Amino acid sequence: MRAFFFGLGFSSQQSAMAMRANGFASVGGTVREAEKAARLRAIGLDAVVFDGTAPGADVSAALTGATHVVLSIAPDEMGDPVLRHHRADLDAAPALEWLCYYSTVGVYGDFDGDWIDETAPLVPRNMRSDRRVLAEQDWRDYAAGRGVPLCILRLAGIYGPGRSSFDKLRAGTARRVIKPGQVFNRIHVGDIARVTALAAERRLAGTFNLSDDEPAPPQDVIAHAAGLIGVDMPPDLPFETAEMTPMQRSFYRDNKRVSNRAIKSALGVELLYPTYRDGLAQILESEQ
């Protein structure tokens, strides 16, 4: 098995390492800059450059032996960059046997805090999520035409070592914005990596949510993290008066609790970090 990631970002790098640990003969993928490609090659990931604006010069050759391809590049106003620039290379990849697309739970939109699963209608509330809905369908159409299974993982808000409430608290940027009834869905990067590696091994097909077991108010997460590292908790900021960028404010338009039952059932697993408390404990342990 040989894996290739379009977009070796935070989650993909963890997933790539998990797949390599699970017996993949090689794992590679794309990054936007040559300097980052060199750094990743130094730790054993076969990285090549593709910035999404034009075909990557080395992508075609890198795909030649790929059996598993994971897609982790966000669509833009013109659609999915991979399909736009490298569809022919995927068509020509002789060993391709599985595709995985990292989408987002943002495709669902707002459900006023109710629990939802993969059967919920898609009513996205912003252009970013609108594009994801279209990209999901584009990849379903491509996979069906290509004759390979496709696994779509709709990811919740991603956190992990180096990208957590601890970092914001230490940097002095953490805020406890209070909007009554608001919850966010989260997923630890370690669970993304584990699920991706297992799904790849089993050539899992279908559309699945990947979120932890306990959607929670954002202020609760900040408070718990502050207590763990012994720093002062930021003051409460009412949502109505809090200064935010338009993108930050847009996240508060969606309020839902996303069920992860389907992916756990499909793979026969429980999450490594089923709540934010478990995830934050792991991050703190990894720092020590």
Q: What is the pLDDT of residues 116-143, one digit of tens each?
A: 999 999 999 889 999 999 999 999 999 9
Query: What is the Rg, in whole angstroms, of the alpha carbon atoms belonging to the chain?
Result: 19
Q: How confident is the model at residue 223 (pLDDT cuts 50, 70, 90)?
A: very high
State if pTM tops 0.85.
Answer: yes
In one letter, which amino acid is 166?
A: F
Domain ranges of the chain: 2-159+186-214+258-273
Cβ atoms of 180 and 233 closer than 8 Å: no
Average of per-residue pLDDT across 144-172: 97
At residue 125, the pLDDT reads: 85
Separation CA 286–CA 86 (nearest Å):
38
CATH class given for the domain over 2-159+186-214+258-273: alpha beta
